[in-house]
Amino acid sequence: MADKTLSKPSAFQDVFARKPGVDKSGTHYCAGCGHGVAHKLIAEAVADFGLKDRAIIVAPVGCSVFLYYYFDFCAVSVPHGRAPAALTGISRVHPEAICISYQGDGDLAAIGLAEIIHAANRGERMAVFFVNNAIYGMTGGQMAPTTLVNMKTSTSPFGRQVEGEGHPMRMCEMIAGLESPVYVERVAVDSPQATMKARAAIRKALKIQMERKGFAFVEILSPCPTQWRVAPDQAGEWIRENMYPVFKLGVYRDKVQETDPRPAPPESLSAREVYALLTGEKDSGKAETAQTDSNNGRHSKSPEAPAIDSICCKLAGFGGQGVLTLGVLVAQAGMNADYHVTWLPSYGPESRGGTANSSVILSREEIGSPVVNDIDVLLAMNVPSLERFLPQMNRGGLVIYNSSIVQEEIEKRDGVKIVGVPAMDLAQTAGDVRAANVVLLGAYSALTGLFTNADLDYALSTSFPKPKAAEINRKAFAAGVEHVKGKEEGARI
């Protein structure tokens, strides 16, 4: 065994050709550093389990950013602390990959804390090897979240103080407190005996990946004699004396037995299938699409449609009165009638409980600005809407308002037709007061003759696919039509 960890595992490169400098056989790590041991244990396990082709390892920022100098499988270096997020992206899209994250303490417990906790909580399919040496290595020996109390570092020159700098963070304990992780263990590489246990833990975490069981976390207490300023041969003792009491070795979670392998994720749909999903049509090509257009007959241009170039509509009311939907209905009918159409909502916090409006433009020409400032048609569900938008009406315009709640006398405006419809009462009769918006659509439609029945059918059936809602809304629509019949027909728009 001792022999084995000294030889170069086959998941290491034969020659470290990527490493700069002359020496292509040793690592770039300092004498006594634990990374080399951890690397070897991982490489050995990957080789022994036959995972070289499937293994993908994420390198952190820190001394081990260069781990790809050594490993002979796929590797990626990612922004500081983000290894679990990047590996999540990899793990999800390659269900066959053996996903390995390798992080130091600054990387994982400081800047990357949110990423490791959330990846663990989601139970991402990955093995995380967390090398804890209680200090930042590469950047110059700064205090890490795992730095021991009173330990001096380049950013805690008076020793880490509990007050203000806190206690060392125990990542195994924190991660074991979540429900999704399958396996959490803390090991060390301070002695051959400890290293044997580390070896077993690393192999177990990788086996969990082979078995597709989920998230495994192995914390490895590891020497950093350079930044600790102790002799390499004293570093093991330093770990045992200083780290063991704070970071207790052991298994913090083991649900391997009771965890089932993850099922394979569903297949990604093909282009043809995606097109069908998005359109309800089975064809993915444009040629067939054109045929569909002429087949379904809904693109019927209304022969009796008034010769109108463009109409600017404002649909307004309280939030919850369905004025956004009303706008969508007008736009859908207009689209079906071969108008160019735009719909623009007012939105934001005011949409919860406040007033809301939507702007719709129907035009025979391509539409520039979708903003409606000068209004041809106003469908108003409440008083504030009338107050706000009446001054913006164009001459020749049409206002239909919900007289169920607007009971004030509406001031006449020159050249503007104003029609009251008791929309909420009619909707209530149709089965649901919330269909008041559709009552106004019926009235508008009847007063202008702008849309064919097919246009309106399309709009209603698209917006209300469920049978019950469809029925109520069709009744409401009819009530709106009926209410204005004979009264104000022939409105210009």
Partner 1 sequence: MSKQLMKGNDAVVCGALLAGCRGFFGYPITPASEIAHTAALLFPQAGRIFIQAESEVAAINMVYGASSAGVRSMTASSGPGISLKMEGISYLAASELPSVIVDISRVGPGLGNIYPSQGDYNQVVKGGGHGSYRCIVLSPNSVQEMCDFTMLAFELADRYRIPVFVLSDAYVGQMMEPLDMPAAIDPPGPPDWALTPEAATNGNVITSIFLNPEEMEAHVLHLQENYAGIQRQETRCETYRCEDADLILVGFGIVSRILRSAVDQAREQGLKVGLFRPQTLWPFPETQLLEHVGRVHDFLVVELNNGQLVQDIKLFVAGRSPIHFMNRVGGFVPSPEEVVEKARQILGKDAAAPVREKSSEVSVPK
Q: Which two tokens stand for residue 170?
A: 């125990």
Subset of 177-216 contacting a copy of itself (CB under 8 A)? 177-180
Residues 6-45 that bind a copy of itself (CB under 8 A): 21, 28, 30-31
CB of 322 to a copy of itself, least distance (A): 16
Q: Which residue blocks in 297-422 are alpha helix, DSSP H?
A: 323-336, 383-389
Show the site string, 170-209: x = touches partner 1 by CB under 8 A, - = not: ----------------------------------------
Complex with partner 1: residue 92 or 492, whichever CB lies closer: 92
Closer Cβ to partner 1, 338 or 432, answer by number: 338
Closest CA to 27 of 36, 40, 17: 36
- Binding partner 1 by CB under 8 A: which of 6, 22, 278, 307? 278
Minimum Å gap between C-beta 121 and a copy of itself is: 4
Distance CA 281, CA 459 (A): 18
Piece of 171-179, 292-300, 366-374, 389-397 that binds a copy of itself (CB under 8 A): 171-179
Footprint of partner 1 on residues 115-134 (CB under 8 A)?
A: 115, 118, 122
Nearer to partner 1 (CB atom), residue 273 or residue 408:
273
> Residue 405 or residue 454: which is nearer to partner 1 going by CB?
454
Among 175, 224, 239, 331, binds partner 1 (CB under 8 A): 331
- Measured from the CB of residue 354, what is the shortest distance to a copy of itself in angstroms? 7
- Name the nearest CA neighbour of 420 among 436, 437, 395, 399: 399
Would you count residue 299 as binding partner 1 (CB under 8 A)?
Answer: yes
Q: Which does 353 bind (CB under 5 to 8 A by kind): partner 1, a copy of itself, none?
A: a copy of itself
The two beta strands, 98-104 and 127-132, are parallel
Smallest separation, CB 487 to partner 1 (Å)? 30
Closest listed residue to residue 313, CA positions, set 365, 369, 379: 379
The yes or no reply on residue 110 touching a copy of itself (CB under 8 A) is yes
Interface with partner 1 in residues 436-465 (CB under 8 A) = 462
Q: Is 163 in the site for a copy of itself (CB under 8 A)?
A: yes
Question: Looking only at Cα atoms, what is the longest distance across the chain?
Answer: 101
- Minimum gap (Å) between residue 306 Cβ and a copy of itself: 39
CA distance 89 to 194: 33
**CB atoms inside a 10 Å sphere around CB 173:** 15
Please identify, using beta-carbon distances, which residue of 111 and 478 lies nearer to a copy of itself.
Answer: 111
Of 60 and 223, nearer to partner 1 (C-beta) is 60
Binding of a copy of itself by 410 (CB under 8 A): no
Identify residues 54-113 at the interface with partner 1 (CB under 8 A): 54-56, 58-59, 61, 65-66, 68, 72-82, 85-94, 96-98, 106, 110-111, 113
Q: How far is the CB of 122 from a copy of itself (least distance, A)?
A: 4
Show Cβ contacts of residue 281 under 8 Å, excluding neighbours closer than 6 positions: 275, 288, 289, 292
How many residues in total does the chain contain?
493
Instruction: Characterize 427-446 residue by residue with b for buried, 16 or more Cβ atoms within 10 angstroms of its Cβ, and e for exposed.
Output: bbebebbbbbbbbbbbbbbb
In b/e form, how buried is each residue of 95-108, taking b as 16+ CB within 10 angstroms? Answer: eebbbbbbbbbbbb
Is residue 7 a contact point for partner 1 (CB under 8 A)?
no
Does position 240 interact with partner 1 (CB under 8 A)? The reply is no
| Contacts to a copy of itself from residues 411-470, by CB under 8 A | none
Q: Is residue 95 part of the contact set for a copy of itself (CB under 8 A)?
A: no
Quick one: which H or E segment has residue 148?
Answer: none
Report how far residue 122's alpha carbon sits from residue 143's, in angstroms, rounded to the nearest whole number: 29
Q: Which does 76 bind (CB under 5 to 8 A by kind): a copy of itself, partner 1, none?
A: partner 1
DSSP designation for 435 = G
Q: Does the protein bind partner 1 through residue 24 (CB under 8 A)?
A: no
CA 418 vs. chain centroid, Å, equals 47
Least Å distance between CB 157 and partner 1?
A: 5
With CB under 8 A, what is the number of residues at the site for a copy of itself? 36
Question: How far is C-alpha 264 from the geometric centre of its chain's CA atoms?
Answer: 21
Neighbours of 219 (CB within 10 A): 29
Question: In terms of CB distance, is 67 or 406 closer to partner 1?
Answer: 67
Question: Site residues for partner 1, window 245-264 (CB under 8 A)?
Answer: none
Alpha helices in 239-382 (DSSP H): 271-279, 286-296, 323-336
Give, in order, the Cα–Cα distances in Å from 123 to each of 91, 119, 259: 11, 6, 12
Residues that bind a copy of itself (CB under 8 A): 21, 28, 30-31, 110-114, 117-118, 121-123, 138, 145, 162-167, 169-170, 173-174, 177-180, 226, 262, 349, 352-354
